[in-house]
Amino acid sequence: MSAPANTGPVSIEDARIAPKPALRRFHQARWDEPLIFELGTPGTRGVGVPAPEVPLDDSLPESLRRKEAPGLPEMSQLHVLRHYLRLSQENLGVDMNIDVGQGTCTMKYSPKVNDRFVRDHRISELHPLQDESTVQGVLEVMHHLEKMLAEISGMDRVSLQPGAGSAAIYTNIAMIRAYFASRGELEQRDEVITTIFSHPSNAACAKTAGFKVITLYPDADGYPDIEALKAAVGPRTAALMITNPEDTGIFNSRIAEFVDIVHEAGGLCAYDQANANGILGITRARAAGFDMCHFNLHKTFSTPHACGGPAAGASGVSEKLVPFLPRPTVEFDGTRYHLDDDRPESVGKMRPFYGVVPNLVRAYAWIMSLGAEGLREVAEIAVLNNNYLMKRILEIRGVSAPYAEGKRRIEQVRYSWEELGKDTGVHSEEIGVRAADFGTHYWTSHHPYVVPEPMTLEPTESYSRQDLDEYAAILAEVAREAYEDPETVRTAPHNSTIHQVRQATLDDPKTWAVTWRAYRRKILGQ
Amino acid sequence: MVNPVAGLGGRVGLKGSDGPDVQARARELGAVPRASERATAALEELMARVGAPVVLTAAGPMGEDAARAAGLEPDVRYVPDGGRTTAADTVAAAKALALDVDLLLFAGGDGTARDVLDAVGTSVPVLGVPTGVKMHSAVFGVGPRAAGEVAARVATTRAFTEAEVMDLDEEAVRSGRVSARLYGHLLVPDVPVRVQQRKVGSSAADPYAVGGIAAELTERVGDGQLVLGPGGTTRAIAAALGVDVPVMGVNVLRAGRFFAADVNAAELARLVADHPDGTWIAVTPIGGQGFLLGRGNQQIAPEVLRAVGPDRLLGVATEAKLAALGGRPLLLDTGDPDLDRALAGYRTVITGRGRTARYPVQGA
Amino acid sequence: MTGSFAHPYIPNAAPDVKRAMLDAVGAESVEDFYVDVPADLRLQGPLDLPAPMRSEAGLVRHMSGLLGRNTSTRDALSFLGGGVYQHHVPAVVDEVVDRSEFLTAYAGEPYEDHGRFQALWEYQSLMGELLDMDVVNVPTYDGFQASGTALRMAGRVTGARRVIVASAVAADKLSKVVDYVRPDHDVVVVPVVDGRADVAAVRAAVAEGDVAAVYAEAPNFLGVVDPALPELAELAHEAGALYVVNCNPISLGVVAPPASYGADIVCGDVQPLGVHMSFGGGNAGFIATRDEEHLVAEFPSRLFGVVPTTVEGEYGFGDVAYERTSFAIREEGKEWVGTAAALNGIAAGVYLALMGPHGMREVGETIMANTRYAITRLSAVPGVEVPNADAPHFADFAVRFTGSRTVAEINEALREQDVFGGHALSERDALYCVTEVHTKDDIDRLAALLEEICK
């Protein structure tokens, strides 16, 4: 395009900018940034350290003194900052994109104002062993957050200690173990039942805690097979750990029957509510008879995902499991808040101190800004967004939403590109990499793939109708390319920070390199 | 290599395409050969990924046509005697081509796979482009393009594994009976499932691993006698136990050590009678249909199953294999309908160490 | 009233948009989406929650009121340690981890989230340099979890059952570790003598056999850097067990990395490296080993690796040995992996890059000098003893009050002067802590106050 000539009169038309094309001409930042070890200059440093005002201590024996300085880079402050700012730009956070593609992760807006509270030194610089009189504010936040989560789940008490969702699952299984141990039934009850669509951590945590795991597969309609559950329960059943809706987004309306079957056999029922975004204020774990549940505060309750944590989990229990909660609990005696560590039947500590406090503060502030009606609106709009997006997605050639045809979904859908795959040879993973060329995320499914060529989308309440239309348009374009120009899809990414990686060396002990020193030694031969 | 008549029977409702009479009948019914066109699609896919390969093939409809349609200049190494292609041509062509290739790509169905097995055994890696009616063998790509994709990987990754060749007796099927067996194993490219999408939150239980299943079996069986049905999973389990069992047939382990290979029904009955209280049977669903009993493992006869008892009949399968059934039940066809009924219901399938599924099992 | 308020966090709550979207999917109302939720499971009426604070100003005012009821370690002079440490967090660390692009990213692929992969791989690498180990994980939750997992890894490697704890370990950490390893391991705690490992008793415990690991801490819970640490390695290895050492990473510019005296698995918490204390909520656990397949195979955590791309000179990243499965017969569950504490790992990486080799040595020297000065100064106060004062200490040290007043009474008196005394280990014992943020004046002031209070 040549610019208008500088001479002569210009018209209004000369100033008109053509409308934007339907799809964004995205290109991600590509700084071609070296590794931090390739930067820096000997003799420079990034921050000054207080020099000792008192004599150095020489009490360390020779064998416990460091002989060689660690091989850390030597960099000035600006250069450290610049390196990491460049890396930061080579990421797609929620704030930057229409983050509906990381299904099951509940990628929603994490309000900036809540970050301010946790950066305040009256949170960030609190030591956990301070006298209770000096931390009444944060204890009040924790106490109220527990009460609010108890109301939202219908449970009697909630522990805020777990470090994240899987840690909350582990906390629940630890309480299940303590409960049966207290009744002398632990030897007998050594089986935990879960479903293939449940998060793999349910099975993994149960195994870690010493239980055997029985997995139920979906029936033809995509629901967990209730007849299989009947066959699986018995005197050895410790617990059922189940999600509803599962990753298909189909609400299992017989969930109370599942719970009854397990209760009848003497087992406990734990509801994996890692993602409760579609049912806030609609239905509660208690209503279906569950004994325990857990929330991921970094999903439903808006705390940031932080590249994979720090996150926060919350484990809710009914009255009979309260004695087994992790210690300490936060109590209120009418005038002051205090930590109760005197809980003899407690499963003990699940992590240092009391929980990932910054995220407890954020979740508290988020709930306080929404209230009961706001939470329900979160659920309703998340579900509306999901069903709207499903309609748009199913207009695309080659994709389907397996199971329960014609039914509405709750907060997410596991789609299948099976037809497109058969027609074009293009796989779901390749669609995902190509979709990233338009500035979006995309996720397939946990393994094993129950749905072939899976794709899981979860539009939370945070995205506008235009956002959803744009995301659907991106997938439609990638699908069109798969049919008409599959090479473009297969050779993606084209607009990303880097090009296709060669992963084969990652599985070979000879060639994998987890650190710079390992790379230098194994690959560079230094 | 293309079996030009593979798949001929399917579109016109015949249960296969084996033998000249059936093929003639299929043509009468209006069947049009499509094997060549599907082979072309596979070659195009291959070329899209690794460029034009050197192609050796058989003349005319046995491969040359497909290669030329894909824009390749093939080197023709076998010319059939003329007229209709027969199983003998398939065998002869496979033998001729196998001498000089990195991968023998063949288009056909189960019958073709059997012919290839007879011709080359495991001397050369092979891969099937599915064009046939019967697709029970585990040597095919899921579609022509998928086969091309897998073939392309051989250019960079030379990893191979053995896969089952199954076939039904077509005559029996056409007359209303079902009878299948495991014929043997071919060497096929080992394609690890692409696991690039590794979300934070994926726990490490490997849905494809059999080491845990082997450990669980060991714990349950102890020093007892373990009858291992045929199949890739059971063979891998044996390998994890440190036992190299023959590629086919029913094998017997005692106290974790190899005891008897490829036993027939009578021998098995005698071995079980020796150990009436200490025998377990482990079977895995074979082929794509999900048959737990009655396909490829008929040696495990109803009398043996009754003697061992239903509690010691153990299904074994990886989680991925069960998931791939898409909710369909596992099937039984022991030849004894009463026994099928007795064994039906929700049975325990071992999927790992301390991990089981309760999975529906029913008579076929 | 509420009908016209579209909450700022929920764009499609605007009534016209909502109606148009319902029409687009052919739904009367949102109730259509919930037909599968049986009536008896439906919540009747609204949740019983406080009225919302829809204005940001109102929320800020409310939260300010709550925060105002906290007194931070910036408002007071704190000598608290015992697992969470007050260190200076450089401004650049906050600047980086507060970036929206890092803070709100999650689990993208090596392409669109390349920066996260590189930052975490560099964290692993920087920790590798500090620890003298070739393999470091993407962080797990915290140091407690790191110890628990390190011991289970040792159990899977050795197939043995007993874990011998040779150091003084915080009661809470021990509680978590014992609970966590319970299905597979018995934990044998060998009591320390004079704050140091009882080597003869450890040798006797090891001699009973079936030992998966000897576990030690450097420094231990009482702040002692135990001179017996290298000898414990020999005891472990003679018995075919692994030597698992939990260390404080900020000490390693001065104190020898555990790998140098025989540790097979090194673990700990990165909180001291640029992570705010946040009332005990700022943690990330590290686990490190040599680059040996049988050790790498037992990590439940993610391990990022560097790989080439299709373009020369370009770094790509991915998961190392993701399908970590044991082919051994004794296959056991590899625990789990989930969202944990990645951003705190990035913070630690930025911290190490800023500090460099000299900064790490200097901060270690200052902390050890301050610790020694505080021990000497407090020992001189009548009514105050520092047990095991001759042992090398790092940051933490135990104090015994021999006068009439209890730790609680002393701490109350200190608090009146805006000083947080060490936390009580018993009625008469407390654990004090100083770091590089304390000045000589701070320590002198503490000594003077204690002199007054314990009089």
Q: Residues C84-132: pLDDT tens digits?
A: 999 999 999 999 999 999 999 998 889 999 999 999 999 999 999 999 9
Q: List CB contacts (< 8 A) between B350 and chain C.
A: none
Instruction: Give whole-number Cα distances, C125 to A70, C132, C249, C268, in Å.
Output: 11, 10, 14, 16
Q: Which candidate from C326, C329, C340 shows the least CB-CB separation from B218?
A: C329
pLDDT at C70 over 60: yes
pLDDT value, residue B12: 54
- pLDDT grade for B176, boundaries at 50, 70 and 90: very low
Question: Is the minimum CB–CB distance between B222 and chain C shorter than 8 Å?
Answer: no
Residue percentage of chain A with pLDDT more than 70: 99
How many CB atoms are located within 10 Å of the residue C64 CB?
A: 13
* DSSP sequence for A202-216: HHHHHHHTT-EEEEE
Which structure tokens are listed for C447? 């000594």
Confidence band (pLDDT; 50, 70, 90) for B212? confident
Q: Mind spelling out the 3-state secondary structure of A399-448?
A: CECCCCCCCCCCCCEEEECHHHHHHHCCCHHHHHHHHHHHCCCCCCCCCC
pLDDT band at A174 (very low <50, low <70, confident <90, very high): very high
Identify the band that residue B174 occupies on the pLDDT scale cut at 50, 70 and 90: very low
Query: What pLDDT is attached to residue A353?
Result: 96
Q: Which of C7, C12, C184 to mutate to test the interface with A (most CBs of A within 10 A)?
A: C12
Residue in chain C lying closest to A201 (CA) = C336
Q: Give the pair of three-digit tokens for residue A414.
A: 């596991």
Confidence band for C334, pLDDT divided at 50, 70 and 90: low
For C33, which DSSP code?
A: G
Most confident among A77-81, B237-241, C322-326 (mean pLDDT): A77-81
B257: contact with C, CB 8 A cutoff: no
C39 inside 8 A of chain A by CB: no
How do C384-385 and C423-424 pair as beta strands? Answer: unpaired
Residue of higher predicted confidence among B244 and C311: C311
**Pairwise pLDDT comparison (C329 vs A39), residue with the higher score:** A39
Inter-chain contacts counted by CB atoms under 8 A, chains A and B: 124
Closest by Cβ to A135, choosing from C279, C308, C392: C279
Average pLDDT of B336-351?
93
Mean pLDDT across A397-411: 93
Distance of CA B63 to the CA centre of its chain: 24
Instruction: State phi, psi for A154 to the nearest 5 degrees.
Output: 80, 5
Find the mean pLDDT for residues A137-153.
98
The per-residue pLDDT for range B64-107, each reduced to its tens digit, is: 999 998 889 999 999 887 666 788 888 999 999 988 899 999 99
Confidence bin at A504 (pLDDT 50/70/90): confident
Q: Count how many residues are written for chain B.
A: 364
Q: Which chains touch B (3 or more CB pairs under 8 A)?
A: A, C
Asked if C146 and C373 count as a contact pair (C-beta separation under 8 A), the reply is no
Q: Can you state the percent helix, strand and coil of chain A, rounding each to 5?
A: 40, 10, 50
Q: What tokens appear for C229 in the block?
A: 């640490």
- Indicate the pTM of the whole model: 0.88
Give pLDDT tens digits for B225-260: 999 998 778 887 888 777 877 756 899 999 888 888
Q: Could you report the per-residue pLDDT of A421-469, keeping only the tens digit for each?
A: 988 989 999 999 999 999 999 999 887 888 999 999 999 999 999 999 9
Closest residue, chain C, to B239 (C-alpha): C327
pLDDT band at residue B52, thresholds of 50, 70 and 90? confident
Strand C419-420 to C77-78 pairing? parallel
Q: Name the closest residue on chain C to residue B256, using Cα atoms.
A: C329
Contact C338 B203 (CB under 8 A): yes
Q: Does C323 touch chain B (CB under 8 A)?
A: yes
- Model confidence at B198, pLDDT cuts 50, 70, 90, reads very low
* Mean pLDDT rounded to a whole number for chain B: 81
- pLDDT higher than 80, residue B13: no
Give the model confidence (pLDDT) of B122-161 as tens digits.
899 999 887 766 666 778 876 777 788 888 888 777 778 7
Task: Write down the pLDDT at residue A371.
Answer: 97
Note the ipTM here: 0.96
C-alpha span between B295 and A511 (Å, rounded)? 43
- Interface contacts (B, C; CB < 8 Å): 63
d(CA B236, CA B247): 10
Average pLDDT over residues B297-315: 91
Least confident of A468-477, A511-520, B152-161: B152-161
Q: What is the mean pLDDT of chain C?
A: 94
| Whole-number percent of chain C with pLDDT over 70 | 96
Q: What is the DSSP letter of C42?
A: B
| Token pair recorded at residue B88 | 């003998």
DSSP designation for C139: P
Residue A507: pLDDT band with limits 50, 70, 90: confident
Minimum mean pLDDT range among A98-102, B320-324, C242-246: B320-324
Is residue A121 scored above 70 in pLDDT? yes
Instruction: Tell me the chain B residues in contact with residue C339 when contact means C-beta distances shorter than 8 Å.
Output: 200-201
Q: Which of residues 246-275 of A touch C (CB under 8 A)?
A: 250-253, 255-256
Q: Which amino acid is residue B158, in one-letter code?
A: R
pLDDT value at position B177? 42
Residue B353 sits at the chain C interface (C-beta within 8 Å) = yes
Range with lowest mean pLDDT among A159-163, A240-244, B100-104, C405-409: B100-104
Answer whether B205 sits within 8 Å of C334, measured CB to CB: yes
